[in-house]
Amino acid sequence: MRTNDTYDHENPKRVYYLSMEFLIGRSLANNVVNLLLEPLVEKAVKAKSLEPLGLLEEEPDAGLGNGGLGRLAACFLDSMATLQLPAMGYGLRYEYGIFRQTIQDGWQCEQADNWLRRPDPWEIPGRTSKWRSGSTVPSS
């Protein structure tokens, strides 16, 4: 909230980064550290007799890019945050990520990567407005 107040007061130029891919990786461990929740999580893991690394492995990796461009987009956003630049990243919210591949009887078989099968507690919903391709966006 302080950040938005500062931006409103200072009115700086802002960066809006649009990418078709964001290869952000898993976010649970980063969010635990960034929110200073390590002592609380350690206590909860110990109370439930869980293996901390095993718990982290339970988080699925959203397949929202296949490497280069997705990783680059994530690095740009990370750098802008580190430099405290007023920036926002935007992307498409794909229903399915990159497909999962298996080889069966010598043939490649693809299955959709249903990365949204469980709710993501770190996802911040945006506007719910939708427009069909080719339609005009109403001015506000």
What's the mean per-residue pLDDT of the chain? 80
Rounded distance between C-alpha atoms, residue 26 and residue 31, angstroms: 10
Rounded distance between C-alpha atoms, residue 88 and residue 14, angstroms: 8
pTM: 0.55
What pLDDT does residue 52 have? 84
What pLDDT does residue 47 have? 94
Strands 87-91 and 97-104: unpaired
Rounded distance between C-alpha atoms, residue 68 and residue 22, angstroms: 10
Is the pLDDT confidence value at 105 over 90? yes
Half-sphere exposure of residue 117: CA atoms within 13 angstroms, side-chain side: 10
What are 9-68's pLDDT values in tens digits?
Answer: 888 888 999 888 777 777 888 888 888 999 999 999 999 999 888 888 888 776 666 667
